[in-house]
Amino acid sequence: MKKILITALSLLSLAACAPSQVVQTPQFEMLEAGLLKLNPPGLNGGAAEAVIRIQMQGRNPNPFGLRLEEIRFDLLLEGAKIAAGVAPGFELKASGVPTRFPVDVEVPLDLNTLKTLSRIVTGQPTSYQMLGGFRVDAGVLGKPNFGPYTLAQGTFKSLSLASTPPSFAFRPDLTRLTVGLGGAALDLGFEVKNPTPVGFRLVAPLGLVVGGQTVAKAEAGGTVRARETGVISTRFAIDPLAAARILVGGKFDFQISGAPTLEVPGIQSFAFPVSALFGGTAQR
């Protein structure tokens, strides 16, 4: 009992004198970094936002666990500061056992940051640095602060948005075929799935193809936010001659062809070649 008391008093004495000298400095390294989400100004259906996620790994060289209370940092892209933030706390395991954790950085959007983020969106290598410091809770050894210094640095190597097209899916529940003296009208509903971290406006001249021939054309458009699925509708007006030819038994199978363009406001537009986007069946 006396030995335990003496040890505790010794630790308290050390903490009171120089806790930052008693606690060895944790080390951090970057594992990967990437754009988590970018919805630029000009998209409907939500606020503009940009978030960069940096996956980091920490090692605590001390023989006891530490709680990292916070990391305060500045994020630089291509040498220019674009954001500042505070990462939440977490536990660092003892004796150098690695601890992985993500740091999400919210980037304020303006003309300058959009210009820099456009490098990532278009697949250009983009250097970054995370500069800052941190505080740990070492129990009786106190709460020493470390830094400031470079916490992480590296280069973004992301794919261009142009290399990851959206996918299209027919929505029969949102599709209706009406027939009258003036021909037929196909009100078409479909989904656009955006697998990328970048929101866009879709502009798509579409063709309604039946039996290998285009019988009507229409323009479709809408907004699809980052990593979300948007629902878009458009109307094809089919002239009487074409309607009479294809409406056998009150229904017909069709394909939708198109050359969609993805417009990322303030950054760039990405066009895709003409292709068959999806197919379905129209029924009266």
Question: Domain holding 269: CATH number?
Answer: 2.60.40.1820
Per-residue pLDDT at 19: 53
| 148 within 8 A of 134, measured Cβ to Cβ | no
Give DSSP secondary structure letters for 113-136.
HHHHHHHHHTT--EEEEEEEEEEE
pTM of the full structure: 0.81
**Are residue 215 and residue 252 in the same domain, yes or no?**
yes
Burial status of residue 97 (CB atoms within 10 A of its CB: 0-12, 13-18, 19 or more)? exposed
What CA–CA distances, in Å, run from 10 to 7, 17, 22, 67?
5, 11, 12, 21
Quick: pLDDT tens for 114-153.
988 998 888 888 999 999 999 999 888 888 989 888 988 8
Taking the CA atoms of 65, 70, 73 and 75 in sequence, report the sign of the dihedral they define: positive
> How far does Cα 181 stand from its chain's mean position?
48
Give, for 228, the enclosing helix (H) or strand (E). none
Taking residues 15-42, what's their average pLDDT? 79
E strand map for 11-65: 27-39, 49-59
Q: How far apart are CA 152 and CA 220, in angstroms?
A: 44
Read off the CATH number of the domain in which 106 is found: 2.60.40.10
pLDDT at 63: 93
> Residue with structure tokens 């278009």?
122
Most confident of 58-62, 143-147, 169-173: 169-173
Pair 32, 136 in one domain? yes
Residues 118 and 231 in one domain: no
